[in-house]
Amino acid sequence: MPLFYSIAKVAEMLDVKPSYLRYIEKEFSFIKPYKDKHGNRRYTDKDLEIIRRIIYLRSIGYTMDGVKEQMKRVKTQDQAQDPSNMDNRLEVIENLQQIRFFLEEIKKEL
């Protein structure tokens, strides 16, 4: 599986128009696909998961405001279920710092 998907590929996969994906981005500020140096959107699997949820909620009759409310609830529940969220981030930062130090040591030896 690729790391990133183009807007055309995501639109094809989800059976929606690219303009609908851009609309969803405007409505939901937390959906921020990576943009390459040419400005092309590159969606991750996580982006697809969120967009699928939005499309599903719309398909069962939720308004956009209703979808936003549901997404807030899900986000709040996820955060409540993972109180170590900040600890995980700090652990990742520490690991990255160790890797950086290790790479700097290797660079010195070259």
pLDDT score at 36: 87
User: What is the CA 69 to chain-centroid distance, rounded?
Assistant: 18
pLDDT tens-digit series, residues 64-102: 999 999 988 876 655 545 555 555 666 777 778 888 878
- Contact yes or no for 25/31 (Cβ under 8 A): yes
Residue 60 CA to residue 102 CA, distance in Å, equals 52
Percent of the chain surpassing pLDDT 70: 84
Angle at CA of residue 76, ends 96 and 23, nearest 5°: 85
Token pair for 45: 């699997």
Task: Measure the N-to-C terminal CA separation of the chain; round to a whole number of Å.
Answer: 35
Model-level pTM? Answer: 0.65
